[in-house]
Amino acid sequence: MKQRNNLNKLIVAAIAAAALLAGVACKKTAGTTAVQTETFGAAPVKVFKVERTKITEKLTYTGTLEAWNKINITPEVGGKIALIHVQEGDRVAKGQLLAELETESIRLQLKQAQAGVAVAEAGYADALRNKERMDRLIKENAVSEMQREKVQLAYDAAAAQLEQARAGLNLAQHALDVSMMRAPFAGVVASRNAEVGDVINPMMGGFGGGAGGVLTLMDYSKIKISVTVSPQDISRLRKGQEAVLRVGSLPGREFRGAVRVVNLTADPLSKKFGVEVVIDNPDAALRPGTFGDLVFEVESHEDALVIPQLAVLENTYVFVAEGGKAVKKNVVLGIQNTTMVEVLDGLAEGDLAIVEGNFGLEEGAAVEVLEEVKK
C-alpha cells in the first residue's frame, strides 16, 4: 500500500514538471513571435522631403523638322538640259548658276530680235524726220491736211513697230535668261533630279513624265517644325512664345525658337490645331526630315511646395512617414511637369512623402524608411 502511494506521488510530480516545461516553452515561443512580428511587420519605403522650389508646367509635342525654304529648280521654258554645274550636298550662293538648257536656238532668236529692233529703229527715225518736216510745212500752210495725216500715220506705225520689236527682243532675252537656272537663295543642293540630255517641259509637270525639276534646293539655316495641338492645349500657346526643341540624335542639346503660326481653326478630321515653330540652325546641326520634341513652358510658379508625382495616389492623397507609421493626407494639387507636382494644400514643408512602397499601404501601417530620395 505504501509502495502504491509513493508511485502515485511520482506520477503527479512528473505531470507537474511536464506542465511547467510546456508553459515555459509556450511563453518563449509567444515572445519570439511578438518580437518577429514587431521586427518584420514594418513596410520598407523611400521618402521625399517636401520642399519649396520653382515648378514649370510644360507641354511636349513631337513633329518633323523641315527646311526653312525649299524649292524645285525648274526653267520657265522647255528644252534639253545642257549642263548641271552642282552635285548633291553642294552649298551654293544666291544667284549662283546651277544648270542650263541648250540655248543655241534661243540665241539665234535673240539675234533675230536684235536685228528686228535695228530695222524698226531705222524706220522710226525716218518717220520721225518726216513728221518734224511736215510739222514745219503745216505751219507755213505749204501742205494739205491730208498730206499731214498721211505722214502722222506713218510715224505712228513706225513707233508701234519699234515697240513691238523691242518687246520681241526682251522676250528672247528673257528666254535666254530663264534657260540659265540660278539659285534664288543661298542653300544646299538636296537632290539632283535630272541628268544632262534630259528634256524638260515645265508645262507638262517636269521631264520624262516626272516632276521635281532639275534640282531641289534647301535653306535650313533656320528650321521649322509643325505639330498638331489638342483643343485643351491650344489656348495656352500664342505667337512669339518660346519653345525648346530636343532631338534624339543630339542628346544633351537644346535649341530655342519661337512660335510663328498658331492656326485659329481645327483640322476637320483630327479636330486638332496646327502650330509652327521656327528655330535658328546656324551650325546646320539640325537636319530636315528628322523627328524632334517641342517643349512649351506654359505656366510657372515660384517658391511652390512640390513633391514627385510618384507620391500621389489617385490624384487625391499622399502617405507621409511620421513616427514609423504611414499617415494618409488628402492633398490639393496645382500645376505639374513630367516628374513633379505642386501641392496647394494638405502638406507642409519638410514632410516625408512616401514615393516608393506607398501602393497598398493603409493608414497607420508600420513603415521603415530605407532612403530619402532627391528630385
Looking at residue 121, its pLDDT comes to 94
Which residues make Cβ contacts (< 8 Å) with residue 185, sequence separation at least 6?
Answer: 69, 71, 94, 217, 219
Instruction: Say if residue 229 is exposed, middle or buried (CB neighbours under 10 Å; 0-12, 13-18, 19+).
Output: buried
Query: 28 pLDDT exceeds 80?
Result: no
Looking at residue 338, its pLDDT comes to 80
Indicate the residue type of 266: A
Looking at residue 10, its pLDDT comes to 45
| Residue 297 DSSP code | E
Nearest 5 degrees, angle CA 249-CA 250-CA 253? 155
Percentage of residues of the chain with pLDDT beyond 90: 70
Query: 118 pLDDT exceeds 80?
Result: yes
Indicate the residue type of 363: E
Query: 17 pLDDT exceeds 80?
Result: no
pLDDT (tens digit, 9 = 90+) per residue, 126-180?
999 998 888 888 787 877 888 888 988 999 999 999 999 999 999 999 989 989 9
Mean pLDDT in residue range 292-314: 93
Domain 43-55+301-372 has CATH 3.10.20.440: no
Query: 3 pLDDT exceeds 50?
Result: no
Mean pLDDT in residue range 268-281: 95
Indicate the average pLDDT of the chain.
86
CA–CA dist 362, 320 (Å, integer): 11
CA–CA dist 268, 264 (Å, integer): 12
Contact 264, 213 (CB under 8 A): no
Query: 14 pLDDT exceeds 80?
Result: no
Sign of the torsion angle spanned by Cα atoms 284, 289, 292, 294? positive
CA torsion 264-270-271-274 (nearest 10°) is -20
For 219-300, CATH number out of 3.90.400.10, 2.40.30.170, 3.40.50.300, 3.90.550.10 equals 2.40.30.170
CA–CA dist 179, 174 (Å, integer): 8
Looking at residue 204, its pLDDT comes to 62
Looking at residue 22, its pLDDT comes to 43
CA–CA dist 100, 178 (Å, integer): 9
Q: pLDDT band at residue 234, thresholds of 50, 70 and 90?
A: very high
The CATH code belonging to domain 75-102+180-213 is: 2.40.50.100
Among 307, 302, 332, smallest CA distance to 320 is for: 307
**Percentages (nearest 5) of helix, strand, coil residues in the chain:** 30, 40, 30
Buried b (16+ CB within 10 A) or exposed e, 232-253: eebeebeeebebbbbbeeeeee
Looking at residue 323, its pLDDT comes to 92
CA gyration radius, the chain:
46
Looking at residue 146, its pLDDT comes to 85
Domain chopping of the chain, boundaries: 43-55+301-372, 75-102+180-213, 104-178, 219-300
For 104-178, CATH number out of 2.40.50.100, 1.10.287.470, 3.30.230.10, 3.40.50.2000 equals 1.10.287.470
Looking at residue 239, its pLDDT comes to 94
pLDDT (tens digit, 9 = 90+) per residue, 178-229?
899 999 999 999 999 999 999 888 776 544 434 578 999 999 999 999 999 9
Distance of CA 73 to the CA centre of its chain: 26
**3-state class of 213 per DSSP?**
coil
CA–CA dist 278, 293 (Å, integer): 13
Mean pLDDT in residue range 22-46: 53
Query: 332 pLDDT exceeds 80?
Result: yes
Range 167-173 contact pairs with CB under 8 angstroms and sequence separation of 24 or more? 168/113, 168/116, 168/117, 169/110, 169/113, 169/114, 169/116, 169/117, 171/113, 172/106, 172/109, 172/110, 172/112, 172/113, 173/110, 173/113
